[in-house]
């Protein structure tokens, strides 16, 4: 170990004049106000980043920060400050990779037509759903995950994990979506259900279940992922934000439990740009609140007849 004085003497001889008193003054000087503020900010940034599955970049971290400040008013934090402190903590968002298709096209003459034609918008919940399947590699083999997504809010309304690509996988996800909406007392009559040409989605059991629920089937063209781009986008988020970041995966049970946590976070906490940077669940609740208020106001008006 070298003492302070010898080190300062060598530095001075090399042209970097530093007196021992300068070192001691710097060592005993209390942290600056900015350093104290940065330390407090770093703690909150790390906690927020971890709570968001570690996937948020600067933009969404700043958006989340603004939302938190609305709930607990504090001194405003600039986006550049969030960016600076994230860089200092080596935090960053995730970048999506390429998507691999898992459904096998079915050759059927009476395949339903494409009722969306790449228009993945909806004016209200339960007007349009999209569905798709993706895969996850585990130590015990591939497992497959089916999702059903509401296009109005981008909320995941149904999902299931299985170790096979049988029709039951997609059908179970559909059943959960229908059960979820029934539990919330929302009608799905007239719903357009869109998917690719996979055998799981054009199977008799699946189409009959859609018909019994009052839904209409819609199927994209063969070999064109853009015809189901919204569902493909959800699969990409799922693989990027959960599967690739937290693997390797040991078994179906591990994937199933992690997917349950991710879907709950995605629906109720994750800021979604489609919804104006609020979670899908909150976006739906606001829609129903506004429409219920409108209906109540209209019914309260005196009759003109």
Q: What is the pLDDT along the chain (305 residues), one digit of tens a residue?
A: 667 778 777 777 777 777 777 777 767 777 667 666 667 666 777 776 666 666 677 666 666 656 555 444 555 676 677 777 777 766 666 665 554 445 544 454 456 788 998 899 999 999 999 999 999 999 999 999 999 999 999 999 999 999 988 879 999 999 999 999 999 999 999 999 999 888 888 888 899 999 999 999 999 875 556 788 999 999 999 999 999 989 899 999 999 999 999 999 999 999 998 999 999 999 999 999 999 765 544 444 444 33
Domain shared by 72 and 47, yes or no: yes
Domain shared by 73 and 216, yes or no: no
pLDDT of residue 18: 75
Q: Is residue 112 part of a domain?
A: no
**CA 48 to each of CA 52, 85, 227, 257: distance values in angstroms, whole numbers, following the listed order:** 6, 13, 35, 22
Report the run of H or E that residue 48 belongs to, with start and end. helix 33-51
118 neighbors 109 (Cβ within 8 angstroms): no
| Domain assignment of residue 25, given as a range | 1-30
Structure tokens at 184: 């919330």
Domain shared by 145 and 280, yes or no: yes
Domain shared by 12 and 42, yes or no: no
Domain shared by 186 and 247, yes or no: yes
Cα separation, 231 vs 128, in Å, equals 12
Q: Is the pTM of this model over 0.85?
A: no
Domain shared by 193 and 87, yes or no: no
pLDDT of residue 51: 67
Domain shared by 25 and 39, yes or no: no
Domain shared by 148 and 12, yes or no: no
Cα separation, 216 vs 218, in Å, equals 7
Number of domains in the chain: 3
Backbone angles phi, psi at 120, to 5 degrees: -100, 50
pLDDT of residue 166: 81
Angle at Cα 195 formed by Cα 255 and Cα 109, nearest 5°?
130
Q: Is residue 235 part of a domain?
A: yes
Domain shared by 145 and 259, yes or no: yes
14: Cβ–Cβ under 8 A, 6 or more apart, which residues? none
Q: Is residue 268 part of a domain?
A: yes
Report the run of H or E that residue 133 belongs to, with start and end. strand 128-138
Q: Is residue 100 part of a domain?
A: no
Domain shared by 150 and 254, yes or no: yes
Q: Is residue 164 part of a domain?
A: yes
Helix/strand/coil for 89: coil
Ranges of beta strands (E only) in 168-282 are 192-195, 216-219
Domain shared by 285 and 183, yes or no: yes
Domain shared by 282 and 153, yes or no: yes
Q: Is residue 102 part of a domain?
A: no
């Amino acid at each position: 170990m070298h003492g302070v004085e010898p080190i300062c003497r060598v530095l001075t001889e090399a042209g970097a004049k530093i007196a021992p008193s300068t070192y001691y003054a710097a060592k005993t000087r209390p942290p600056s106000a900015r350093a104290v503020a940065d330390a407090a900010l770093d703690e909150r940034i790390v906690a927020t980043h971890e709570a968001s599955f570690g996937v948020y970049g600067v933009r969404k971290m700043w958006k989340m920060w603004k939302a938190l400040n609305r709930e607990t008013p504090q001194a405003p934090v600039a986006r550049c400050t969030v960016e600076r402190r994230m860089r200092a903590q080596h935090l960053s968002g995730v970048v999506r990779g390429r998507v691999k298709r898992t459904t096998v096209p079915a050759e059927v003459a009476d395949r339903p037509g494409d009722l969306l034609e790449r228009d993945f918008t909806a004016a209200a919940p339960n007007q349009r759903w999209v569905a798709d399947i993706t895969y996850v590699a585990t130590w015990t083999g591939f497992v497959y995950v089916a999702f059903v997504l509401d296009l109005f809010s981008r909320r995941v309304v149904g999902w299931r994990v299985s170790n096979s690509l049988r029709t039951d996988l997609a059908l179970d996800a559909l059943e959960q979506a229908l059960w979820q909406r029934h539990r919330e007392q929302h009608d799905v009559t007239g719903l357009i259900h869109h998917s690719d040409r996979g055998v799981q989605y054009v199977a008799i059991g699946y189409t009959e279940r859609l018909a019994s629920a009052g839904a209409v089937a819609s199927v994209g063209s063969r070999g064109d992922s853009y015809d189901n781009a919204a569902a493909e986008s959800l699969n990409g988020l799922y693989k990027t934000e959960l599967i690739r970041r937290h693997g390797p995966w040991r078994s179906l049970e591990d994937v199933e439990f992690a997917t349950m946590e991710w879907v709950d976070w995605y629906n109720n906490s994750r800021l979604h740009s489609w919804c104006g940077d609020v979670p899908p669940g909150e976006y739906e609740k606001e829609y129903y609140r506004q429409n219920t208020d409108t209906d109540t106001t209209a019914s309260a008006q005196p009759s003109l007849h």
